[in-house]
Amino acid sequence: MKVNVQIELPDELTMLRDMVRRFVDEELIPLEGRSLIEGQQKLRPEIEAKLIERCKQLGLYQIDIPEELGGQGLGVFGRSIVWSELGRTVALPTRVVRILGPEVRAPLYALTGEMRERYLMPTARGERESCFAQTEPEAGSDPGAMRTTAVRDGDHYVINGVKRFITGADSADFVILMAATDRSKGSRGGISCFVFDMDTPGVKLSTCYQTLTGETPWEIIFDNVRIHKSHLVGDEGKGFSLGQKWLGAGRIKQAARALGATNRCLELATGYAKQRVTFGQPIASRQTISFRLVDTYVDLEAATLLVHRAAARHDRGDGDRNEAYMVKLFCTEMAWRAADMCLQVHGGIGLTTDLPVERLWRDQRSHMITEGTPEIMRMALARHVLNTYG
């Protein structure tokens, strides 16, 4: 029996990893503390422009956009290698990172005809931006409880509802919206996806939230928004599955970025523990410190294999939601533990903004919640475990 287990990276991905690692070490880490606009998760315009040009030179620009749309067409495995290295630095925003090119969310690829030309193509070229609106005040982890409705009225839909914590809503040209077209069916055929311009009458930005990491997501109100049926993405009732396709790859991306953050935390904590002397000895010589470093190292090695397997299977088309749940759960919790450990090892100096430690701590705490909380991941995986082993 042949067992196909990939332990080492292929040569081309090893070269990609090493190139991105040099880019991070030589050009991004030196920017920490001055790359972001104070109090915001946005790169300073002059820094962003230089980094975009550098990414184009390195072949990192538009890595996740298919070649037929002018991109690099790099698979999820390749992108996970890139993101695991970028995760080592806090010089970049935690969510919207434009230096790698425009973000084309999965539902846009389902567009056809005039809608494809109006939304997908200009987004791929970097001419338009979107925001993704699914979360609501009463329906975050439970999309089946969605209250935003899209009611058919002849050749149009009339949309009413509120979406909350929508990243990039203030700069988006258009919205990718999940709305209930049949509330009785919930997420099993009752949710549809729509795409339409943010300046459509009835669309209103309501509240801007200030968050732990400096991000500023928005609440959006949809008040009798009337759109033509051509703005429906795919088939009615199939919107939830379209969103899940994007979230699956997004969770692998989050897990990959958590690998990088954990790696950086381990580097910082180990370096400091070896130089920090108390009672005549470096604190690295004490079990209470060294054992935590070891636990983080073992977690990181195991998590790397999980991410590589999930990414490779996603590229082959035989991955599943449970694998995406698992890597998101394991890796973001690991990164949070690593950041907490790193902060504790540094003590008081770790609480200051002189070091990237406190930023790593805040970012990893945030990542545990976004795109699926640990509790939701465990609920989903519990069904899988009970069905598989029961």
Contact 132, 163 (CB under 8 A): no
Tell me, rounded to whole angstroms, the distance of Cα 208 from its chain centroid.
Answer: 20
DSSP 8-state class, residue 24: I
Contact 227, 159 (CB under 8 A): yes
Instruction: Tell me how far apart the alpha carbons of residues 256 and 311 are, in angstroms, rounded to a whole number.
Output: 9
Tell me, rounded to whole angstroms, the distance of Cα 336 from its chain centroid.
Answer: 15
126: left (phi over 0), alpha (psi -120 to 50) or beta: left
Instruction: Tell me how far apart the alpha carbons of residues 205 and 247 are, in angstroms, rounded to a whole number.
Output: 24
DSSP 8-state class, residue 9: P
Does residue 371 carry a catalytic annotation?
Answer: yes
Within 8 A by CB and 6+ apart from 53, the residues are none
Choosing from 236, 323, 371, 375, the catalytic residue is: 371
Contact 32, 92 (CB under 8 A): no
Which positions are catalytic? 371
